[in-house]
Amino acid sequence: MASLDPVAFLRSTPPFHALPAALFEAAAGSLEIGYYPAGSILVRVGAEPLQHLYVIRKGSVRLERDGQTLQVLEEGETFGYTSLLTGKATLDVQVEDDLLAYRVPATRFQALLGDAQFAGHFAVGLSQRLKSSLEHSPVTTFKADLQLEVQQLLRRPAIWVEAGATVGEAARVMRDQRVSSVLVRGDPPGIVTDRDFRNRVLSEGLGPETPVASIVSRPLRTVDAATPISAAWTTLLDTGGHHLPIRRGDEIVGVLTSSDLLKVHAPGPVAVLRRVERMADRTGLPGYAAKVTEMVAALLGGGLEADLIAGYVARLNDALLRRLLTFAEADLGPPPAPYAWVVMGSEGRMEQTLLTDQDNALIFDDLGEAKRDWYQALAERVNADLEAAGFPPCQGGYMARHWLGTVSEWVQRFAGWFEARKPQELLEASTFFDYRKVGGALDIEPLEAALSSTAQHPIFLRYLARAALELRPPNSLLLRLRESTELDLKMQGLAPIVLLARCYGLEIGAAERNTHARLAAAVKAGLMSQEVFNVVGEAYKFLLGLRLRLQLRLAAEGRPAINKLAFSDLSAIERSRLKDAFRAIKSWQEMAAYHYQASF
């Protein structure tokens, strides 16, 4: 019977597991045990509200409103907190299976709310509950503080030279100060680095009398001194640079190097980026996927949210892709005409967490039509190299070796998709309308113009919305421990949000491809309320994080990354919040169905 010890069970149940010892001991000392037979009514709407927080040990309860079951709660889940927080009974609570519950009195519950993490778990707002609920599983032992401010890494003030200095003078300052860069005064100020000396001076046969102004990089891309390390990584990845000036107010107070940030967190994105930059040939491709997985696990264990991690992965994949294009051009010679390599799907939206199937395409200038074979060879090489790096081929064939053509051909494809009515055509449109250019010199403005005209095709949007609404979360009544329900987090949770967000983004002509950014743009355009945005946005982040934990667990076991899991494998809090997320998605889908006059 040791497993039924109320105190031990309570201590293992979030959020009680994280309470400070003194608070938990007080809660355990006030614990009561309640037994309720099936069919018991614990509270009805409008009646006296519940006076305890209930933690279910065995059995289940149904939450109902107007005779409709909203949710079934089981072992490890809690109820009663809405009554305690609002002082009102807003739901009927009926015991479905004989219930054994541990009760915490209202007065003790109120005292526990003084703990911020505990209070966040029981927030009245669904968006806040989702935001604070996803448990940080021990996917790694890394525990560095990724929210450390960059100013705490500075070891010396900024080193400057005057605008009229020569390259030789700047080099001597760098040697004497033992730094790899100097700032150059001016309006705006700039920076020169040891790489600039190699690439812009020595390689060009220039001498020490060369004015430093002729090689300076400006304007500076700076970050505020209070910026956390995790955000500084993003800036470095975006710029592809190795030096990051730090400002406090209007003053530049120092310069951090990529090595400074690398020392703080070896498995971070800067380390993977440096690996890509040092890749001399294709022999360095194997192992890239493993390095990304190691980085993702470390960042997740360090407390970063899954959507932020996905942004790092996308930027690293972009850097790798540009490296592969360089390799291919070295083999094939310069392109006959400019081209653009684009990525789609989760990579196009910058939402890929681990390396999944390739989704890419190739667009080239109309002048290159006579040399189509060159572009076909480019696509074949890069697709093969991506596979060697750990990106599996797309099962649906959405890869550049199959999808390439001139700008004119692509504009015609877009125009054809606007007339799409068949499922396959709508699938193609959905895939390619998330494109994002990552390499090549071709200006693809004609495609941007075509995409921005989507609002002029309301029938197409309606069909696209109908296709999106066909993907729905499972019925919450089927989400039971005893049913051993299997869930597909992608198709039943993430995809319904992604597809509808795409419809909203296309309707308003938003330039954003990222799902969260599309939702934010929809709020600005008046298509959804701030409240709905908060709930759906947090539901998306929650599902993305849950999926990432599943994928990392599978990777650790040497199994392929999939999106399916058994409902019973989730913790009690994850089960509860998953139901909340699914309910939020369904509510939003109902609103969207009305907006697009689409059957639901």
Asked whether 154 and 253 are in contact (CB, 8 A), the reply is yes
| 61 contacts 96 by C-beta, under 8 angstroms | yes
Q: Could you tell me the pLDDT band of residue 223, with boundaries at 50, 70 and 90?
A: confident
Architecture of domain 2-124: Sandwich (2.60)
pTM: 0.74
Q: What is the pLDDT of residue 104?
A: 95
Q: Which fold has domain 150-264?
A: CBS-domain (3.10.580)
* Cβ partners under 8 Å of residue 203, min gap 6: none
**What mean pLDDT do residues 551-567 have?**
80
C-alpha 316/C-alpha 302 separation (Å) is 19
User: What pLDDT does 2 receive?
Assistant: 41
**Does 3 have pLDDT greater than 80?**
no
Name every residue whose Cβ is closer than 8 Å to that of residue 410 and which is 6 or more positions away in sequence.
363, 446, 447
Tens digit of each residue's pLDDT (9 = 90 or more) over 71-130? 889 898 999 998 998 899 989 999 999 999 999 999 999 999 998 888 888 875 667 666
Is 463-595 in CATH node 1.10.287?
Answer: no
Q: At what angle do helices 407-417 and 445-452 cross, to 10 degrees?
A: 10
Token representation of residue 323: 């490296």
Tell me how long the chain is.
600
Answer whether residue 259 shows pLDDT above 80: no
Residues contacting residue 283 through CB under 8 Å, at least 6 positions apart: none
Continuous segment of H or E residues that includes residue 378: helix 372-389
Domain boundaries, the chain: 2-124, 150-264, 282-414+428-440, 463-595
pLDDT in tens, 366-377: 999 999 999 999
In tens, the pLDDT along 27-54 reads 999 999 999 999 999 999 999 999 999 9
What backbone torsions phi and psi does residue 64 show, to the nearest 5 degrees? Answer: -130, 155
Q: What is the reported pLDDT for 141?
A: 38
Summary mean pLDDT of the chain: 87
Q: Which two tokens stand for residue 538?
A: 């947090």
pLDDT of the residue at 320: 95
- One fold for 2-124 and 282-414+428-440: no
Peptide bond into 15 cis (omega under 30): yes
User: Are the CB atoms for 19 and 27 separated by under 8 Å?
Assistant: yes
Q: Is the pLDDT of residue 250 over 90?
A: no
E strands, 366-410, where? 404-406
Displacement of CA 570 from its chain's centroid (Å):
21
Confidence of residue 144 (pLDDT cuts 50, 70, 90): very low
Q: What is the mean pLDDT of residues 10-16?
A: 89
| pLDDT over 80 (residue 266) | no
pLDDT at 559 over 80: no
Query: Contact, 308 vs 230, CB < 8 A?
Result: yes
The class that CATH gives domain 282-414+428-440 is alpha beta
Q: Specify the pLDDT at position 139.
A: 40
pLDDT score for 66: 86
Strand partners, 160: 183
